[in-house]
Amino acid sequence: MDSLTNLLTRVLSGDRRAVARLMTMAENGDAGAREAMAKLHPHTGKAHIVGITGPPGSGKSTLVDKLALEFRRLGKSVGIIAVDPTSPFTGGALLGDRIRMNAIALDRNVFIRSMGSRGHLGGLASKTGDLVRILDAHGKDVILVETVGAGQSEVEIVRTAHTTVIVEVPGLGDDIQAIKAGILEIGDVFVVNKADLGGADETARELDTMLDMNPVDTGWRPPILQTVAKSDTGILEVVDAITSHMDHLKETGNLKDRVREREKTNLLELVRDRVVDSLMENDNERGLEDLVDSIMKYELDPHTAAERFLKPIR
Ligand SMILES: Nc1nc2c(ncn2[C@@H]2O[C@H](COP(=O)(O)OP(=O)(O)O)[C@@H](O)[C@H]2O)c(=O)[nH]1
Ligand SMILES: [Mg+2]
């Protein structure tokens, strides 16, 4: 048995160290990782993938921690992937998350992985997707993916989920309009965390009004729940809502559409990454810089520059 097959066998039989190792390979874009991911594919598709997003400091990690405990109580195994765009670290637990998630870090049925996104020039969503697939094949029932709801890549990550939970905090006031613009459409469950701070009812009402203005045709009206993640209040309701959403997806047949959409997005991102990678090979980095120079000197417009850059593969 070669070492890659051996690694895969270990991942599939629940060996945590093998999982960590394969994740590092996948994050580094290791050649062996691609082959391994291909062999893993038939073993995926069983997990319920849940995206958790919201502004920094809204309590996502705290909530994820509590959700994981609740899912464990229900007998489900849990995978957690925390994508932190502010962190330069990759391939290991961030100190903060490691401390915060200590309660569940000792549970062998929970696997936690943190991922910094700096240094991933694009490709973050597909790399997160690889980690999710590894945990899926590894046999985790529920996979919680935490990401800061800010940029485009975060939205893309969340789109890889079956169920998306949007975490907000009370007292957003006028800001709520701006934040909600792109977030409303992707939220399946809304959580107003830090309800202990007061003003949660009002924030929940505002969200409710905005959801009314954005009617969905899927037949799922996203519930708006209030939690105090810090002290375990309202967690069970969030778990129930997440589970109900999956039930709804299955009953309506929307699950297949979602998965299909996800695979399509993922495939396109992989293609995009490969195209860019192959264009950057053979010292073409220099060519890129030259084109940028030309744009800045108004000798070339961006579209023409893009056309020239693409020439080697046209
Ligand atoms: N008052 C209050 N603080 C909370 C609650 N949940 C989390 N926090 C605190 O908010 C801070 C940020 O939490 P964290 O989970 O790291 O937020 P994240 O950046 O969204 O992952 C921490 O100090 C938490 O202890 C809550 O329900 N109420
Ligand atoms: Mg966090």
User: pLDDT tens for residues 204-258?
Assistant: 998 898 888 877 777 899 999 999 999 999 999 999 999 999 999 999 999 998 8
299 and 237 assigned to the same domain: no
The enclosing domain of 58 has a CATH number of 3.40.50.300
Distance between CA 48 and CA 257 in Å, rounded?
Answer: 15
Kindly give the number of the ligand 1 atom that is closest to the alpha carbon of 65: 15
Model pTM score: 0.87
Q: Probe ligand 1: pick from 99, 104, 230, max atoms within 8 Å of CB?
A: 230
Q: Report the domain count for the chain.
A: 3
Answer with the one of 223, 251, 279 that is the final residue of a domain.
251
Tell me if 182 is assigned to some domain.
yes
Strand partners, 233: 228
User: pLDDT tens for residues 55-94?
Assistant: 888 999 999 999 999 999 999 999 999 987 555 444 344 4
60 and 177 assigned to the same domain: yes
Percent of the chain clearing pLDDT 70 (strictly above) = 84
Q: Is 56 in the pocket of ligand 1 (CB under 6 A)?
A: yes
49 and 30 assigned to the same domain: no
29 and 175 assigned to the same domain: no
Distance between CA 226 and CA 257 in Å, rounded?
Answer: 29
89 and 214 assigned to the same domain: yes
68 and 35 assigned to the same domain: no
Give the three-class secondary structure for 174. Answer: coil
User: What tokens were used for 215?
Assistant: 């009617």
Residue count of the chain? 314
Tell me if 260 is assigned to some domain.
no
User: pLDDT tens for residues 176-207?
Assistant: 555 556 677 788 999 999 999 989 999 999 88
189 and 273 assigned to the same domain: no
Q: Could you tell me the residue range of the domain that residue 284 belongs to? A: 269-313
281 and 167 assigned to the same domain: no
- Atom 14 of ligand 1 has which residue's CA nearest to it? 59
Q: Is 226 in the pocket of ligand 1 (CB under 6 A)?
A: no
35 and 49 assigned to the same domain: no
Tell me if 156 is assigned to some domain.
yes
Closest Cα to residue 52, out of 196, 209, 227, 203? Answer: 227
CA of 62 to the centre of ligand 2 (A): 7
CA of 61 to the centre of ligand 1 (A): 7
Provide the CB-side half-sphere exposure for 199 (13 A, CA): 9
74 and 167 assigned to the same domain: yes
- Atom 25 of ligand 1 has which residue's CA nearest to it? 230
Q: Is the pLDDT of residue 292 over 70?
A: yes
133 and 99 assigned to the same domain: yes
- Maximum alpha-carbon separation in the chain: 64
Q: pLDDT-derived band of residue 133, with 50, 70 and 90 as boundaries?
A: very high
Query: What is the number of other CB atoms lying within 10 angstroms of the CB of residue 161?
Result: 23
Residue 54's alpha-carbon distances to 12, 44, 83, 215, in angstroms, are: 32, 27, 12, 21
Q: Do the Cβ atoms of 175 and 149 come closer than 8 Å?
A: no
219 and 137 assigned to the same domain: yes
